[in-house]
Structure 1
Amino acid sequence: MGKRVAVVLAGCGVFDGSEIHEASAVLVHLSRGGAEVKIFAPNIEQRDVVNHLKGSPADEKRNVLVESARLARGNIQDLAELKVSEFDAVIFPGGFGVAKNLCSWAVDGKNCTVNEYVNSTLQAFHSAKKPIGLCCISPVLAAKIFPGCEVTVGQDKNVDGRFPDAETASAIAELGCSSA
């Protein structure tokens, strides 16, 4: 039997949800590795909605769980239902939704708040000494929740230039964590 892995999404779309390439790559690699995967997302309203064709804000409301269901092909559960005892690891793909919907890093930086279910999920996996995978901007979650931890973030701007990773690394350091 393969490992049981929970994947936590933050919506659907690089600018306001989970980055589709990252989420897909995580799911493909877990599948190829024989893992049993269950997908979760918080049942909350998105911070904002972006028209990905124009790259500008859209005047509408969307739900993170409903949007994440697009990537999960409908096979998804509310993050509030995740039980750490049923999994061997958890992975959070990146995308601006992490910094907007799973926490408020996009607006508040190091002073951000973390969604209560994201926080309790990470705390539970950490307490159980189970692996936690954090992609792209997701390491800010650990930096906020686990003072003194070591995470990996880039030092240059991302391809789209929207997340200056040097600034992110600096803010992570201000939280008392180190980044590579």
Structure 2
Amino acid sequence: MLAALLRARGIPSPFGGRSLHRTAGTPAARVALVLSGCGVYDGSEIHEASAILVHLSRAGADVKIFAPDVPQMHVIDHIKGQPTPETRNVLAESARIARGDITALSHLNASDHDAVIFPGGFGAAKNLSSYAVDGDSCRVHQDVERILKDFNKAKKPIGLCCIAPVLAAKVIPGVEVTVGQEEELGGKWPYAGTAKSIRALGGEHCPKEVHEVHVDGRHRVVTTPAFMGHAPLHAIFDGIGAMVSVVLKLTGK
């Protein structure tokens, strides 16, 4: 009702994000961003998603945001770190990050975009795949699998950060990715065991630091560790920026 009243008076709605992810004039590249909810423990990692959007905006990209229209695996109380009895929808939760400007993942087609990027967060392992439950024998959401295969076949770049590279490892045989280091190193890399899963899933793991990226030129897949390691937020932001920069460069625009 409030949004309708504001429109009637010619006042832009504070709830609409429809100009936030669009750049005036000719965009540098058309990029699809795939979210998995809202919140590190049961959806997309919000800092990662926001950092990707900031770097894409600075580069002048035209961004469209997508998420699967499915129930979340579960809802986590982010204070207690425990599941709650709630049920939530991945698309509806992702819309919080997108400011409402979001489309169901089933409508994402590689032909409409120059690149696709996946932030991390446990939603990638819970809602975009079953990795959190099934580990190396996980399944990938059918639309996620379709999208990764289609972009790969079209030789269009794919960017992934944090835990999201497991999706590519499962779907693109022999892909090279990074999720950081392969040893915990005194707790600095608490998810170091994921590197073994990358290999078990059919990929190749390449150790990198938080501020670094790995570029698989053959498959045009760009990855960075992000919150897989403990590091200052600005270092994670810089690593994501490097990933976005390479992805955009690979589009040739």
TM-score when scaled to structure 2?
Answer: 0.68
- 112-121 vs 148-157, which deviates more? 148-157
Equivalent of residue 161 in structure 2, options 135, 139, 144: 135
Residue correspondence of structure 1 range 31-180 to structure 2 within 5 A: 31-155=57-181, 156=183, 164-180=190-206
Deviation at 1:128, TM superposition (A): 0.6
Instruction: Point out 4+ residue stretches in structure 1 off by more than 3 angstroms.
Output: none
Instruction: Indicate the SS of the match to 1:5.
Output: strand
Aligned-residue sequence identity (percent) comes to 62
Q: CA deviation at 1:166?
A: 2.2
Q: Which runs of 5+ in 1 are unaligned?
A: none
Residue 7 of structure 1 pairs with residue 33 of structure 2: yes
List gaps (5 residues or longer) in structure 2. Answer: 1-25, 207-253
User: Does residue 18 of the first structure (1) align with residue 44 of the second (2)?
Assistant: yes
**Contact 2:170/2:202 (CA < 8 Å) preserved in 1?**
no
Which whole-Å CA distance do the structure 2 matches of 1:94 and 1:57 have between them?
19
Distance of 1:31 and 1:85 partners within structure 2: 21
Point out the more displaced range, 102-111 or 51-60. Answer: 51-60
Q: Flag the structure with more relative contact order, 1 or 2, with Cα contacts below 8 A and sequence separation at least 6.
A: 1
Paired positions, count: 178
In structure 2, how many angstroms separate the alpha carbons of the residues matched to 1:175 and 1:40? 25
Deviation at 1:137, TM superposition (A): 0.3
CA distance in 1, matches of 2:202, 2:114: 28
Q: Cα offset for 1:165?
A: 2.8
Residue 67 of structure 1 aligns to a residue whose secondary structure is helix
Provide the aligned C-alpha RMSD in A: 1.7
Deviation at 1:130, TM superposition (A): 0.2
Q: Distance in 2 between matches of 1:94 and 1:172?
A: 15
Deviation at 1:173, TM superposition (A): 1.2
Higher mean Cα deviation, 84-93 or 146-155?
146-155
AA matched with 2:111: S
Letter in 1 for 2:55: H
Out of 54, 70, 81, which is 1:28 matched to? 54
TM normalised by structure 1 equals: 0.94
Task: Describe the superposition over 1:54-77 as per-residue Cα deviations: whole angstroms up to 9, x where unpaired.
Answer: 211111100000000000000000
> Amino acid of the residue matched to residue 45 of structure 1?
P
Q: CA-to-partner distance for each residue in 1:9-68, whole Å, 9 max, x for gaps?
A: 000000000000000000000000000000000000000100112211111100000000
Rg (Cα) greater in structure: 2
